[in-house]
């Protein structure tokens, strides 16, 4: 087990599966104490137990990221138990599949509540704690805040209007955080993973395919054809890049977008 993050305390929302689970495993494997936070409390506890069985240090907490009170209590509790919070990974997210004309106000608001407000509340709660703690001498920063955004933030997709708009907002939130708090030794970064054929992308593949009369798997095939890898990424591959973000000292990545696997359309 690597000890690059020895002594660091991290919270990962949406940590019960997919990319979030991968990030939890990578950070814990590098020596961080990781708080696996998710609306699925049982799932978070299961991931936490598996990491502990592998020798990692973890806790699990059920949290609704759309509640500023719950997110605030999560951060305060972690800081109370461990005296600081070094990393906040705003990773929880949902998707809505449908045309722009068909998306309902309720669907739009729900996507923004989880993706954007969840990241906002996580950022605010983390900032309050990080601004009140001393500079970490090893990492030369008071804290790191990472928003799991998406390439959909920069490229419109016809059946993902709410999702794409929410991810664009998450990226801008990161940039605003970086501009406002970089001079106080807090680094903010946006992570742009490629597609992972678990959970969310399975849902996208099925629902988008149904809307366009395509067989299961076809939307996924089209998506992976845009990737330089020619296939889906795995949570472990995304987590490996996330770990490089976590260990980068100081403000080297402040305000930056980190793309895990570029699409050919990025060039």
Q: Which pLDDT score is estimated for 158?
A: 81
Instruction: Identify which of 126, 93, 120 has the alpha carbon closest to the alpha carbon of residue 14.
Output: 93
> Mean pLDDT over residues 146-172, rounded?
91
Instruction: Identify which of 98, 122, 125 has the alpha carbon closest to the alpha carbon of residue 111.
Output: 98
Tens-place pLDDT, residues 169-213: 999 999 999 999 999 999 999 999 876 656 666 676 666 666 777
| Least confident piece of the model among 1-5, 25-29, 128-132, 216-220 | 216-220
- Give percent helix, percent strand, percent coil of the chain, each to the nearest 5: 50, 15, 35
Long-range contact list for 42-47, CB < 8 A, 24+ apart? Answer: 43/16, 43/17, 44/15, 44/16, 46/16, 47/15, 47/16, 47/17, 47/21
Q: Which pLDDT score is estimated for 225?
A: 65
Q: Which helix (H) or strand (E) holds 137?
A: none
- Strand order of the β-sheet with 57-62 is 57-62, 33-38, 9-13, 87-90, 143-148, 186-192, 256-259
Q: Which pLDDT score is estimated for 233?
A: 72
Q: Which pLDDT score is estimated for 267?
A: 35
* pLDDT at residue 264 greater than cutoff 50: no
Q: Which pLDDT score is estimated for 207?
A: 66
Q: Using pLDDT thresholds of 50, 70 and 90, give the confidence band for residue 100.
A: very high
The residues annotated with a catalytic role in the active site are: 163
Cβ atoms of 241 and 258 within 8 Å: the answer is yes
> Mean pLDDT over residues 228-251, rounded?
86
Helices then strands, each counted (H, E), the chain: 9, 7
> Mean pLDDT over residues 5-18, rounded?
97
């Amino acid at each position: 087990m690597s000890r690059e993050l020895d002594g660091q305390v991290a919270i990962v929302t949406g940590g019960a599966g997919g990319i979030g689970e991968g990030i939890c495993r990578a950070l814990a494997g590098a020596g961080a104490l990781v708080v696996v936070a998710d609306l699925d409390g049982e799932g978070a506890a299961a991931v936490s137990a598996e990491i502990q069985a592998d020798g990692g240090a973890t806790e699990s907490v059920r949290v609704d990221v759309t509640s500023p009170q719950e997110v605030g209590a999560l951060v305060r509790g972690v800081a109370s138990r461990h005296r600081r919070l070094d990393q906040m990974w705003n990773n929880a997210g949902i998707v809505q599949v449908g045309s722009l004309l068909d998306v309902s106000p309720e669907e739009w608001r729900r996507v923004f509540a989880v993706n954007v407000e969840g990241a906002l509340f996580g950022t605010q709660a983390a900032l309050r704690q990080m601004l009140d703690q001393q500079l970490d001498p090893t990492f030369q920063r008071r804290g790191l805040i990472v928003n799991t955004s998406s390439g959909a933030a920069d490229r419109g997709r016809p059946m993902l209007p709410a999702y794409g708009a929410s991810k664009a907002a998450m990226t801008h939130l990161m940039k605003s955080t970086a501009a406002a708090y970089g001079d106080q030794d807090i680094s903010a970064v946006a992570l742009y993973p490629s597609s992972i054929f678990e959970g969310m992308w399975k849902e996208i593949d099925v629902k988008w395919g149904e809307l366009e009369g395509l067989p299961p798997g076809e939307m996924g095939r089209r998506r992976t054809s845009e990737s330089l890898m020619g296939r889906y990424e795995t949570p472990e591959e995304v987590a490996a890049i996330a770990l490089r973000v976590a260990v980068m000292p100081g403000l080297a990545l402040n305000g930056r977008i980190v793309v895990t696997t570029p699409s050919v359309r990025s060039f």
